[in-house]
């Protein structure tokens, strides 16, 4: 027996309101996805700059460590990928020579690059192997002769040039490396 009620046509498709709600949900999802992708790109850029900061600071430490303390050699040269030759001064004084230090013992990047004594700062160009892009890094150091006269305390800081020292999405925090160098040539 059939009822007299007709249900034909009440469930045949989606209404305009349902379609608009579905589009809103899809739009929110796409915006969230785009935000995640842009954050991932920023984090990748910051990680690359941070790794290069550390590698350059270590390179300067290695160059300074290779020179005997108190010997006749007071500098060494390094060449970046753009062919720029820079001098790395390795001698220090009891109060410290080179870039200024902050009260926490880090390189003070608020000091203008031009006011760092010659041979204690460099603009070092790093070239991308696969892309050929070039990035310039600000590398500075301070060398303090320790009381024994046979060792030096070295602080090297590096950061991507043009980046602030804050924690902005695309800016890596400057890296500071500290070590005691005691190579007396024996």
Query: Across residues 91-106, what is the average pLDDT?
Result: 90
Per residue in 99-116, pLDDT (tens digit) is 999 999 899 999 999 999
Query: Across residues 173-178, what is the average pLDDT?
Result: 80
The answer to whether 134 and 127 are in contact (CB under 8 A) is yes
H/E stretch holding 160 reads: strand 152-160
For residue 167, what pLDDT is reported?
A: 45
For residue 121, what pLDDT is reported?
A: 92
Query: Across residues 88-105, what is the average pLDDT?
Result: 89
SS3 123: strand
The answer to whether 139 and 156 are in contact (CB under 8 A) is yes
Give the sign of the dihedral formed by CA 81, CA 84, CA 85, CA 90: negative
Per residue in 117-158, pLDDT (tens digit) is 999 999 988 887 777 778 888 999 999 988 877 788 888 988
Check whether 9 has a pLDDT greater than 90. no
The answer to whether 132 and 125 are in contact (CB under 8 A) is no
Check whether 60 has a pLDDT greater than 70. yes
Mean pLDDT of the chain: 82
Question: 18: buried, middle or exposed (CB in 10 Å: 19+, 13-18, 0-12)?
Answer: exposed
Check whether 30 has a pLDDT greater than 90. yes
Tell me the Ramachandran region of residue 185: left when phi exceeds 0, alpha when psi lies from -120 to 50, beta otherwise: left
Check whether 173 has a pLDDT greater than 70. yes
For residue 166, what pLDDT is reported?
A: 47
For residue 185, what pLDDT is reported?
A: 52
Share of the chain above pLDDT 90, in %: 24
């Amino acid at each position: 027996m059939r009822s007299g009620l007709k249900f034909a046509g009440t469930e045949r498709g989606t209404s305009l309101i349902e379609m608009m709600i579905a589009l809103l949900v899809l739009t929110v999802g796409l915006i969230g996805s785009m935000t995640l992708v842009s954050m991932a790109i920023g984090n990748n850029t910051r990680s690359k700059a941070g790794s290069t900061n550390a590698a350059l600071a270590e390179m300067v430490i290695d160059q300074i460590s290779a020179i005997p303390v108190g010997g006749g050699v007071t500098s060494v040269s390094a060449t970046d990928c753009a062919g720029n030759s820079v001098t790395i001064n390795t001698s220090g004084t009891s109060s410290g020579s080179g870039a200024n230090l902050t009260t926490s013992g880090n390189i003070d990047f608020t000091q203008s690059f031009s006011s760092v004594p010659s041979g204690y700062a460099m603009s070092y160009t790093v070239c991308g192997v696969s892309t050929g892009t070039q990035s310039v890094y600000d590398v500075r150091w301070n060398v303090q002769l320790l009381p024994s006269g046979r060792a030096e305390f070295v602080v090297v800081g590096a950061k991507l040039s043009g980046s602030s020292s804050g924690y902005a999405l695309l800016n890596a925090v400057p890296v500071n490396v500290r070590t005691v160098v005691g190579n007396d040539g024996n």
